[in-house]
């Protein structure tokens, strides 16, 4: 049995009494699936080309200015070519890749937010209820994740508090932050929006925050992929590619 996402949301479907393990249902809307794949590609391009740009001066500072003889809070060796775009040191090509993908990424995020507001995905799946925020409920979710106890039955269709919190942090926190700090590093944007420099405490501070935010997104991606593999990769990947999800049963 396959349920129609336009008539049944994951939240409503999870409340139905006839939902049983093994049933195939629609879980992710088209907007979520499209943005998920598109976003993964763009983040790969932005991260690897960003490392190529960073290799031109692998030091980070706080404040307005920073150069070779200024004290840096972080100094690194150059990242190897296999993890950078275009695969070897070329500041020009890395900038071309980065600046080509950045505006597409920013407008794709805006489109996804508006689309998700319009179809009810954010209000339905990411809104926090009072029961979600109780310390006992949060602690139980933390223990379940630590013990790899994944939800079964209809409960598997709902986001738990850790998922909601991490998705809200990424979509409404880290992604807008990395866009704004990127704009702050642009001299052209400094002339148009000088308040960005004041907001982040200078261009070098924005660069440091941009760097830290990028690696925070990579950490989220690695944890996210680990959870996908542990929860059942075939079922989870099929859900994000086709929208179809098989309700899991009890696991020993």
60: helix, strand or coil: strand
- Report pLDDT digits (tens) over 94-142: 999 999 999 999 999 998 888 888 888 888 888 888 888 899 989 999 9
29: helix, strand or coil: coil
Taking the model in full, what pTM does it have?
Answer: 0.85
**CB proximity list for 188: less than 8 A, separation 6 or greater:** none
Other beta carbons within 10 Å of 58: 14
- Report pLDDT digits (tens) over 142-154: 998 888 888 887 7
- Report pLDDT digits (tens) over 170-193: 999 999 999 999 999 998 888 888
Distance CA 56, CA 78 (A): 8
Looking at residue 182, the DSSP 8-state letter turns out to be H
Domain annotation for the chain: domains and CATH numbers:
10-61+72-246 (1.20.950.20)
Give yes or no for a contact between 164 and 126, defined as CB atoms under 8 angstroms apart.
Answer: yes
Residue 27 has pLDDT above 70, yes or no: yes
Residue 8 has pLDDT above 80, yes or no: no
Residue 90 has pLDDT above 90, yes or no: yes
Q: Which of 135, 136, 162 has the alpha carbon at shortest distance from 227?
A: 162
Question: Which secondary-structure segment (H or E) carries 244?
Answer: strand 244-246
pLDDT confidence tier of residue 252, bands split at 50, 70 and 90: low
Give yes or no for a contact between 198 and 177, defined as CB atoms under 8 angstroms apart.
Answer: no
- pLDDT at position 12, please? 47
Gap between the terminal Cα atoms of the chain: 26
As beta bridge partners, residue 25 has: 245
């Amino acid at each position: 049995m396959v349920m129609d996402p336009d008539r049944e949301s994951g939240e409503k479907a999870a409340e139905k009494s006839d939902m049983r393990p093994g049933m195939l249902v629609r879980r992710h809307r088209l907007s979520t699936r499209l943005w998920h794949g598109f976003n993964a590609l763009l983040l790969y391009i932005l991260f690897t080309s960003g490392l190529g740009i960073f290799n031109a001066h692998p030091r980070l500072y706080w404040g307005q200015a920073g150069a070779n003889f200024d004290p840096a809070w972080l100094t690194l060796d150059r990242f190897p070519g296999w993890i950078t775009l275009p695969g070897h040191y070329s500041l020009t090509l890395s900038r071309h890749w980065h600046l080509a993908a950045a505006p597409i990424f920013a407008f794709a995020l805006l489109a996804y937010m508006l689309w998700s507001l319009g179809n009810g995905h954010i209000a339905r799946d990411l809104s926090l209820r009072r029961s979600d925020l109780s310390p006992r409920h949060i602690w139980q979710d933390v223990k379940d994740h630590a013990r790899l106890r994944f939800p079964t039955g209809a409960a598997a269709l709902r986001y738990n508090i850790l998922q909601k919190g991490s998705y809200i942090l990424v979509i409404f926190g880290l992604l807008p932050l990395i866009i704004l700090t990127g704009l702050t590093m642009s001299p052209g944007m400094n002339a148009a929006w000088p308040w960005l420099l004041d907001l982040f405490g200078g261009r070098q501070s924005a660069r440091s925050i941009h760097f830290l935010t990028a690696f925070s997104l990579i950490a989220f991606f690695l944890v996210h992929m680990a959870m996908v593999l542990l929860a059942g990769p075939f079922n989870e990947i099929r859900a994000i590619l086709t929208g179809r999800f098989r309700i899991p049963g009890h696991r020993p």
